[in-house]
Amino acid sequence: MEPYASTITDLQQRLRTREISAVEATTSLLNRIEQVDKTINAYITVDREQALAQAEAADRKLADNSGGPLCGIPLAIKDVLCTEGLRTTCGSKILGSFVPPYDATVVARLKAAGAVILGKVSMDEFAMGSANENCAYGTPKNPWATTHICGGSSGGSAAAVAADECIASLGSDTGGSIRQPASHCGVVGLKPTYGRVSRYGLVAFASSLDQIGPLTKNVTDCAIMLNGICGHDPKDSTSLKQPVPDFTAALTDGLQGMTIGIPAEYFGEGLDPEVEQAVRNGIARLEEAGAKTVAVSLPHTKYGVAAYYLIAPAEASSNLARFDGVRYGLRDQTAETLQEMYCQSRSQGFGPEVKRRIIIGTYALSSGYYDAYYKKASQVRTLIIGDYKNAFSQCDLLASPVTPTPAWAIGAQSDDPLATYLSDALTIPNNLAGLPGMSVPCGFSAAGLPIGLQLQGPHFAEEKLLRAGFNLEQRLGLSDRRPPLA
């Protein structure tokens, strides 16, 4: 097997037994990127020189058994996470030349564990999108069907994993941006509980919603990555002092004693029949593993999209005010006044979707409209949190579709942003409540496009999610299927 096709577990074993070196593994990945990324366009920046230098350092540590748990494992990082000395664009022209002077905490932790950073992968500009069509550096393609979207905003992260252009990757999830592209690309994606993973060094979109998580080839790798990035960080005021277990210990066979709720609202109008069939089949496999299922209700789900598209843009309008052409990033050189420089730098630097959300958010926070919009959306958020509390009084986890449809053709919804917003209707409520959620492949459409099953749990239920996801994966046997790339 080529090194680039390995899982973390496979490659760890081969590196420890010295069957292969970290330099050889990294070179295999870099060659793979050169071979297929001209088609997939998953990467914005590839750091060949530094990746090989990190691999050489990993080999020295492997030789004297001083390496960490991810020693020599080549990974990709979503381009919303700061990387010291490596360009971080957030998929935007306004940060096209920005090179951070420090690493995000999650990146620092991966490096401390010995990981090799291959480069930065594509995303919707400032994580605003569900199709990765809002990137200033081109749209990445779905490895299963290159005429289709790979999902967003962590589309590059999911596509790179699916196309074997990295062993695993990190993404961020504000309204489904890990789970949705994971579903569309046939990989595993987990959004942890809000506060479980440090957001220090994550360029903020909506600070009360953003969370960083792994995208991997299987559930075991997801648990390994989660081990590497979780934990309290004093640099992040929202980081929680919660003990970090060994998440791989949760990967046991059988779900006896677990109750899984099936929310009626997630199987309603607009759900593609092929998606429903695949998800229902996945739920049946969970029952085979020993889980009991019960019907539950999340009655305020239908208000989630409306609430999200007031709360998230409002926070974005505040967070993105710092990009003004003064301290870093793009600066218009033709302006004659300070006001013109602000206006022209932002107009040239931001894409249409980012401008749209800044305008919506600024309006929602403006004098006379705050109570009618942002405050009302926050009240709906409280009701959604209450729905989840009620549901989890009856069950351990929830199982549902991730998205209403498989991946659509690139450009099919470009003129209808509302249709794209509605594609996140089944993932957004989870972010509003700050809960952990996970996408696990559960089938394919007749056209060969992947479909994911979403598992959601109460706060700090990542171990239960991983256990259920592991049992689903073992019984469906889909984790070894790869896209038909050369």
**Exactly one of 92, 130, 177, 345 is catalytic; which is it?**
177
Active site includes 97?
A: no
**Exactly one of 153, 157, 169, 479 is catalytic; which is it?**
153
**Exactly one of 28, 78, 191, 439 is catalytic; which is it?**
78
Phi-psi group of 92: left, alpha or beta (phi > 0 → left; psi -120 to 50 → alpha; rest → beta): beta
Active site includes 378?
A: no
* Residues annotated catalytic, as ranges: 78, 153, 177
